[in-house]
Structure formats: structure tokens, C-alpha cells
Structure 1
């Protein structure tokens, strides 16, 4: 199977899961294809690593702003401006891809279907993870 992408063709190998419900397409020995994260946690970690430099710069700017305002005596003011600056820098560099990755990470897919009324309370609690 061949897939056209960015003015070139990529050979793909289709694989069907053992239960027959999922199809996976993997590139066949193409060094130009970068591997992409496969889970939402991997995607989140990739975006956090990309945006962490912005958080560091934002924290430094926040500290520079907060020290003259609060000085050393009123320590919570520089700490607050540092945290706010880090958050702003994190979001400014990460942007919408970071927000999307965080949203996907926080969404939990339904692990079970509807619970039958024939099940016991112990089985329902087990299915719900209680």
C-alpha cells in the first residue's frame, strides 16, 4: 500500500489487531518519516518539552518584574509573578498544540459499555474501578 505525502510516496504495511477491530498502518523502512507519538501521554510530553523553554524565560521575566515590587521582605509577590510569568511563557510557546494535547490527555475514553441490570453490585463496582 502506498500513500502520497509531501510530493513523495510512502510505502505502508497494514496490520490488523488480533481481535479484528483496529487497523494500524506503519511505514516500511522509510528513514525520512519521523515517528509520531502514539498515545496522548506521549503527545503531551512532547509538547511540554517543546514549551518548557518558554516557561523558563517567562519565569525569569516574572521574577525580574516581581523583585522590585515585593523585594525580599514580601516574598510571595516575586513568587506569584514568577509563577504567572512561567504559565504565560509556557502557553505562549506551546500554543494551541499544547492545549490540544492537554485536552486529549484529560479526556478519558469510556472503558466499559452500559452496565446490565443483571450484574451484581460487586461486578458493577469492579467494572467501574471502585
Structure 2
């Protein structure tokens, strides 16, 4: 499995990377713009991401905008969101407004930090990648 983690906090990024490495290859980015560039590059190279863990509060471009752009890139390639990458919002924001906005942006599930290994595993099961 090819996994992308987009997280600006070093500790959170490292924890997610360690938890996810047992499931496949993990690439990391530090902001939304880098995440979108990596997402586009992987799709163009024929090695698309299976899973994207996307923080909301990041510099350069927030996770909500990155989510919209990733789904737009998939659409340009003729990939419907249900057939594309499984995007998991991984964020400290658990208010209803952000949750609803994320699902409107076509995320697959939403995890509130701090994220533990069991919650992450259950999310990967829920989205159907394991």
C-alpha cells in the first residue's frame, strides 16, 4: 500500500509514519501544497496513493483545500472519489462544522487527535484498505 501523511507537526507526523509503516510505504509532507504536489506526482507516475492522512491546520494550504484539490486531480484523471485514494482527515478539530465540511469535500473518514494505533487500524478497516 502507498500511503501519504500530510502533517505540519513533527511529532504527530512521526507517530503517524511509525503506525502506518506496517501497512506499506509511507511518504510524508509538511503542508497542504506539498501534499497536493506529491499526490499529483504519484498519480501521474502510475503509483497513486491508496491512503492519505491529511491534517486540517497546516501552513501554505490547509487540509480542506488540499482535500478539494486531490479530489479534483482524481476527477481530471476520470477517477471517482469512491474509487480513488482513501482520505482520512487526521486533526485536532472535532467541531461539527469542520467534520461536515470534510465529508462534503469527500473525505472517507475523520479521526480526532491524539490518534492511537487501534483507532487508526479501525479507520483503515472502515475505508476498506485492510
- The bucket for the TM-score relative to the shorter chain is under 0.3
TM-score between the two structures when normalised by the length of structure 2: 0.21
| CA radius of gyration, larger in | 1
TM-score (norm 1): 0.21
Structure with the larger RCO, 1 or 2 (CA within 8 Å, 6+ apart): 2
**Structure (1/2) with the larger helix percentage:** 1
Q: Which has the higher strand share?
A: 2
